[in-house]
Amino acid sequence: VPDPWPFPDAQLTLLANPNSPSGTTVSPKGLERLVDSLSGPLVLDEAYVDFADRHNLDLARRPKVIVTRSLSKSYALAGIRFGYAVADAALTRELIKVKDSYNCDVLSLAAATAALEDQDYLQRTRALILATRARLTQDLQALGFEVCPSQANFIWCRRSDHPVKPIYEELKRRMILIRYMAYEGYGDGLRISIGTDAEIDRLCQELKQMM
Ligand SMILES: Cc1ncc(COP(=O)(O)O)c(C=O)c1O
């Protein structure tokens, strides 16, 4: 996060933390500094936070911070389209004024409640993903990729010696789908979601053949 923040008067600021596609996080001090410098509300998007070392839900105690979460990632429930926001009561009252009159459907509410109650399952899948993330990071580094330390359920990697778009295209030809992303003024890279061990084994095998 740039310090000083370049748009302190924005009417709304959104920050994904962990970020996508880099998988990086802003430190609690950096977040405090950002909140202090803004005149408008900050939406702190914690969609990937269950894969990170820490969360920042406490920031929702500040009057102008809204922390949002999604059940699409760590709970693997993208199909129920369920998320929630945590914010100060006064700010929440303002949000309710502009909210659609209908609430979430009863089936998604039931599924979300059951998922949130099953924290053992969440912790087991989280542990699997973090272990595979560490292994994939090492394997990619051994293959010459520069890997951004990830706090999410994907890895962002780049190469300085080789264009990465052909790698994405060749993997696609071999029926392995990852994301290729390019940003003006920054360059491009590959975002690889952490799959099952078998999927990651297959990805590493194909990459070894290709590199
Ligand atoms: C950073 C970030 N925030 C929020 C979302 C929203 O997820 P959903 O609309 O499935 O809850 C995504 C989905 O990819 C995301 O990448």
Residue to substitute in 14, 43, 70 for testing ligand 1 pocket (most ligand atoms within 8 angstroms of CB): 70
Q: Decide whether any atom of ligand 1 lies within 6 Å of the 50 Cβ.
A: no
Q: Decide whether any atom of ligand 1 lies within 6 Å of the 20 Cβ.
A: yes
CA-nearest residue for atom 4, ligand 1, is: 47
pLDDT of residue 211: 87
DSSP state of 3: S
13-56 pLDDT per residue, tens: 999 999 999 999 999 999 999 999 999 999 999 999 999 999 99
Residue to substitute in 15, 20, 50 for testing ligand 1 pocket (most ligand atoms within 8 angstroms of CB): 20
Name the 3-class secondary structure at 190. strand
Q: Decide whether any atom of ligand 1 lies within 6 Å of the 30 Cβ.
A: no
Q: What is each CA distance from 102 to 48, 81, 99, in whole angstroms? A: 27, 14, 8
